[in-house]
Amino acid sequence: MHRGLFITFEGPEGAGKSTQARRLYERLQAAGYPVILTREPGGTRIGELIRRILIDLRHTEMAPTTEILLFSAARAQLVSELIRPYLATGGIVVCDRYADSTFAYQGYGLGRDLEELRVITEVATGGLKPDLTFYLQIDVEIGLQRKQHARERSERGGQPAEWNRLDARDLAYHRRVMHGFVELMKQEPERWHALDADQPVDELAEQIWHAVMPLLDRITPLATR
Ligand SMILES: Nc1ncnc2c1ncn2[C@@H]1O[C@H](COP(=O)(O)OP(=O)(O)OP(=O)(O)O)[C@@H](O)[C@H]1O
Ligand SMILES: [Mg+2]
């Protein structure tokens, strides 16, 4: 067991995971807690290179097994280089997606054998699980619309927005993924905290903060170290 706190964000495309992960990170930092924000796939130099391969729209020939192993390789690097060492110092790690996404996307979405994914994930993470996982619940269509709008804004010269190989899969796939997340939550209800993501950013951030607060008594703030 580690001394820190490992918090992840999951949910369908455009639910607001990155937005809320950043808000939580900033609030923890402002409150004086040792915290890092990271994301999957990526978060390390090697992991970000793997991410580029995974999301490239040209890579239509990628075999499902390749996809699974690349996600897992990026995860293995992130866990060993960043997450485990930081948790060992008693810090808080906020991660935008983690292993649950593999089960939802490659397992339920692409129909890969769940037991096989468990073995691969165990190898990649050494069994490291989040202490708390937020599930941002949103209709698949609304989430994809949010991303479309972000993309249009970016094409008009706004903030850059990403539309990648995995987003481009069909609606039925995204619905299977969502069903997968619901199944995963049923298996470990104590770890998950589901929230209605079709609410203003500030309100969601407030609900997330209230769920995290009770866990903070085990973390020593930076000033008192
Ligand atoms: N609560 C919200 N209400 C309305 N729009 C939102 C909300 N949260 C985020 N957005 C907007 O929706 C888009 C997607 O948000 P964000 O990137 O945080 O989602 P995500 O879940 O990380 O998506 P992805 O699956 O692409 O990683 C962004 O343009 C963001 O500004
Ligand atoms: Mg995101």
CATH of the domain at 59: 3.40.50.300
Helix, strand, or coil here: 11? Answer: coil
Low-confidence stretches of the chain (pLDDT beneath 70): 1, 163, 167-168
Verify whether ligand 1 is closer than 6 Å to residue 42 (CB atom). no
Verify whether ligand 1 is closer than 6 Å to residue 34 (CB atom). no
Q: Structural domain tally of the chain?
A: 1
CB burial string 132-141: b at 16+ within 10 A, e below: bbbbbbbebe
Residue 205 falls within a domain, yes or no? yes
Q: What is the pLDDT of residue 18?
A: 97
Over the stretch 49-108, which tens digit does the pLDDT of each residue have?
999 999 998 999 999 999 999 999 999 999 999 999 999 999 999 999 999 999 999 999
Cα separation values, 35 from 38, 87, 104, Å: 10, 9, 27
Residue 81 falls within a domain, yes or no? yes
Residue 224 falls within a domain, yes or no? no
Residue 162 falls within a domain, yes or no? yes
Verify whether ligand 1 is closer than 6 Å to residue 146 (CB atom). yes
Residue 221 falls within a domain, yes or no? no
Residue 180 falls within a domain, yes or no? yes
Residue 177 falls within a domain, yes or no? yes
Residue 143 falls within a domain, yes or no? yes
Give the distance between the most distant pair of CA atoms in the chain: 53
Q: Which of 133, 147, 155, 195 to mutate to test the pocket of ligand 1 (most atoms within 8 A of CB)?
A: 147
13 is in an annotated binding site: yes
Q: Report the nearest-CA residue for atom 25 of ligand 1.
A: 13
Verify whether ligand 1 is closer than 6 Å to residue 41 (CB atom). no
DSSP structural state of residue 37: E
Q: What is the pLDDT of residue 135?
A: 98
Show the domain range for 76: 5-216
18 is in an annotated binding site: yes
Q: What is the pLDDT of residue 168?
A: 67
Ligand 1 atom, smallest distance to 197 CA: 1
